[in-house]
A = this chain, B = another copy of it.
């Protein structure tokens, strides 16, 4: 019998700055109901799914921005989501801004902020938590930008690594190796590989990605934004022999466009489902996890083919360094 799990990408349209969590949660409840009707067992929501993409707004003092973050899960505002997944027997991925009161690297307990995602079991327990490692953008107000991208201001770099866990999903309880990424992480092959080295079978990831690159300097056509996102996800799935569910918050939010094109990708790197609106939209696909075995035991049999002795620079240096210069010794 094949190990098939039915997964749904629950893309959200825009959430305006003026809209409260109850608006987002209400729309998410309708997507959960639809996912249940379509036979889904796992439902993936976007990054920062409960609010507008607030890092586009500058705040001098972060303590004035606490209302964008969750201090606990569930909360009165998010409890209806927990009720719904229990009712439908669904496992979900939820992205949100997290405030945690916990010790930092110096052992001092303080208020910390992360761009976080969790996988929640039908019974409401958190199966796995991940905090975004690859924060894009900048920490200070950038005068040349029409819209800010202040993730490096609003969040600390994630401190949980790239964890993978084997857990039962949905009502049927099929065991699946689950991992997570958030938005910009998907562009970094290192992140995918760390998941692959833990035998991940299903990578869940949400994103909020501007449809226009303000820094393109004339070299990046706008339509390539979607190509780049899909290229990174397709190659990540292929090279690590896993399925990926990548889910957008899409549409014109606070006046700025985020692209949609949420996709579900198989271990061959093929897109097997794709959203085509910039609004709330559910796409569903059956994922036969036996497909992961092919890559893992042949062309991407890591044990047989990887050569870490040649990969040292990946961990030994952060930035790039200039190569040596060669000159001809004769004419």
Contacts and interface: CB of A to CB of B under 8 A. Distances in A.
Interface of A: 121, 123, 125, 127-128, 133-136, 157-158, 161-168, 175, 177, 184, 187-194, 196-200, 215-217, 219-221, 224, 227-228, 231-232, 234-235, 238-239, 267-270, 290-291, 294, 296, 298-308, 310-331
Nearest to A316: B308
Contacts of A310: 133, 158, 161-162, 190-191, 194
A189 B189 contact: yes
Contacts of A167: 325-327
A330 B269 contact: no
Nearest to A315: B308
28 contacts: A121-B328, A123-B330, A125-B328, A136-B299, A163-B323, A164-B323, A165-B323, A165-B324, A167-B326, A168-B327, A189-B239, A190-B306, A190-B314, A191-B310, A194-B310, A197-B313, A197-B317, A198-B321, A199-B322, A199-B323, A216-B294, A217-B294, A219-B268, A219-B294, A221-B268, A227-B268, A227-B270, A231-B235
Contacts of A317: 197, 308
B238 A307 contact: no
Contacts of A318: 302-303, 306, 308
Interface hub of A127, A177, A228 (most chain B Cβ within 10 A): A228
A251 B303 CA distance: 32
Contacts of A220: 268, 294
Contacts of A215: 294, 298
Contacts of A136: 299, 305
Contacts of A294: 215-217, 219-220
B323 A166 contact: yes
A200 B123 CA distance: 50
A303 B315 contact: no
A197 B302 contact: no
A328 B123 contact: yes
A252 to B, nearest CB: 22
Contacts of A166: 322-326
Which among A135, A291, A301, A328 has the greatest number of chain B C-beta atoms within 10 A?
Answer: A328
A194 B310 CA distance: 8
Contacts of A125: 328-330
B190 A311 contact: yes
Contacts of A298: 215
Contacts of A299: 136, 184, 187
Q: State the 4 A-B residue pairs at the shortest beta-carbon distance, nearest first.
A: A303-B319, A189-B189, A235-B235, A167-B326
B308 A311 contact: no
Given A125-B330, A166-B325, A228-B268, 4 more contacts: A189-B189, A235-B235, A306-B319, A311-B314
Contacts of A221: 268
